Structure 1
């Protein structure tokens, strides 16, 4: 371990850089080096003991003496220590085993990691301050914010496995879940970090997992009755629902108003085709039951958080689904 904690000037009057030696043959005691460099005697002695600044000679009494080369070495060692380079690496540089450029490249990369870690810690502290978190919540949020990319993937995959394992879920749906992984960028914004912490808390919520699983089980039963829907038709139906409910809302048409009937009829016809059923009162009752069973609002929240983290523009289907459910109830 590097133990040069006393590294620094002994007093404000000491110079920040060494003076030129009197001659190439000049020899200096540790005390004289300290006065010339502004380093403490303890630091110079420690660096000497570790071999990075070995003595040039010794006095008859055994005291160490240092030549001009030691002055130059001390300047380089101090610079590298200021940059956070360890003494073992500094010794390699001085012995020409590695170059200063190689050391700088490695430490620049390490600093990138440290900066990112500090940003994550900053985000946690801001979130804690804004939420008035308990000590337990603070510890949890810190753990969530500092997970690696691999650990984040493992957490989301564990949620997907828990929610859908053993169910005859559409492979395309499962693929979309696994492909829609939250990927924090190298330099995430505060909003992205906050969204990640909230998402990580959400997927570990047993109530959320159970609700998503119930919805998947209900969907699986519906598929067994009517057959698995075609993916392209499902996307088309989603577009129709979003467009028609938006048009109705923009026109100021309430879901239970008579003027809502044409909008509902158009959407019901498309959904009946997707479900391979005939539109009518029985189908609409069945459709409402499916929407009620499978519309945990936190599922939409899950995708909104992923969208924030990944910087996606994701359409919000919750208002459309709520309008359609209200129209079906009416």
Structure 2
């Protein structure tokens, strides 16, 4: 370096950048801050490019980008814009997950704070078993064990999409409690080694399930608007789709006799009412009306079927 070129000591660079000497030394030792030269006594000397680089490093760190990402941005000058964009997008995703976790912790703390002392131990046990942010994997495993073996992947995925509630990003304490109870319900050991599946579903087998569950999903979609309008169950398009789904799975056809047989079998089957009640709490926004679920849609359709059979008797 010639005599007229700028050569700052580490202290002078730190002062110009508004940083501490310790900070400058750390970035220099990390290989992020280039030295222009060394003095005769071995002391570091820095030029204007080091000041610009130091400002950039501190800006990136202010955005909470980790050092490896800062290094990627600095080492890819030719594609710095794209690398920075990727780094920022990744950090935003991480921050979203962190914020969701914080909101769930806040709601969980309020849940414990607001409950009677006699219930605190039980609520702590329920909450402590759930990951934060919460995972829906245990619920999905519950349903995969409940569904017919060798059921087509597409039909399974479609069913899980409607059966597994997604935890809200900003939950109320009641939603945290409902999700924790869902988690406890779906992870509890089943006495028979497998969750009890309704006989009316089991006898359809994997091949019948490929038409049964998509057909039921269609019937539920038709029933949901009626539920949102708080309309009483009645025979109509939704019920026809519901019966048709079972008839197709059974290799039968929709008839009065089939409807009577189906109503009798459905009435005798085990229920998962608690699961759907808790799901409704998880899905319903604070102060809103209960959100329809496959369970509430199925109840509506079963009642419509019973009414249809009674009217035809």
TM-score bin (small chain): 0.5 to 0.7
Aligned equivalents of 2:265, 2:68: Cα separation in 1: 69
TM-score by length of 1: 0.56
Given candidates 121, 128, 143, the residue that maps to 1:160 is 143
Given candidates 126, 129, 135, the residue that maps to 1:137 is 126
Aligned residue runs from structure 1 range 165-314, under 5 A: 165=148, 177-182=159-164, 184=166, 188-190=169-171, 194=176, 197-206=180-189, 213=196, 216-217=198-199, 277=257, 291=267, 293-298=269-274, 300-301=276-277, 304=280, 308=284, 313-314=292-293
Deviations 1:136-185 (CA, angstroms, capped at 9, x unpaired): 43332235x343xxxx3x53442123334469x9x999786345253649
Q: Give yes or no for contact 2:148–2:202 (8 Å, CA) kept in 1.
A: no
Taking a change above 3 Å as real, the CA distance of residues 123 and 316 of structure 1, as seen in their structure-2 partners, is: farther
Aligned to 2:247: none
The Cα shift of 1:34 comes to 1.9
Q: Give yes or no for contact 1:159–1:203 (8 Å, CA) kept in 2.
A: yes
Aligned equivalents of 1:53, 1:183: Cα separation in 2: 49
Larger Rg belongs to: 1
Aligned to 1:251: none
Deviations 1:218-266 (CA, angstroms, capped at 9, x unpaired): 7758x9xxxx9x9789969x97xx99x9669xxxxxxxxxxxxxx9xxx
Aligned equivalents of 1:211, 1:157: Cα separation in 2: 14
Shifted more, 201-210 versus 39-48: the winner is: 201-210
Unmatched tracts of structure 1, length 5 or more = 1-22, 249-262
Aligned residue runs from structure 1 range 114-129, under 5 A: 114-129=94-109
Taking a change above 3 Å as real, the CA distance of residues 210 and 56 of structure 1, as seen in their structure-2 partners, is: closer
Asked if residue 37 in structure 1 is aligned to residue 17 in structure 2, the reply is yes
Aligned to 2:250: none
Taking a change above 3 Å as real, the CA distance of residues 316 and 211 of structure 1, as seen in their structure-2 partners, is: farther
Aligned to 2:85: 105
The Cα shift of 1:44 comes to 1.0
Q: Give yes or no for contact 1:93–1:100 (8 Å, CA) kept in 2.
A: yes
Aligned equivalents of 1:140, 1:102: Cα separation in 2: 41
Asked if residue 53 in structure 1 is aligned to residue 33 in structure 2, the reply is yes
Shifted more, 187-196 versus 134-143: the winner is: 187-196
Q: Give yes or no for contact 1:219–1:290 (8 Å, CA) kept in 2.
A: no
Aligned residue runs from structure 1 range 85-104, under 5 A: 85-104=65-84
Taking a change above 3 Å as real, the CA distance of residues 198 and 98 of structure 1, as seen in their structure-2 partners, is: farther
Unmatched tracts of structure 2, length 5 or more = 113-119, 244-252
Q: How many residues align?
A: 265
Aligned equivalents of 1:308, 1:122: Cα separation in 2: 20
Shifted more, 94-103 versus 68-77: the winner is: 94-103
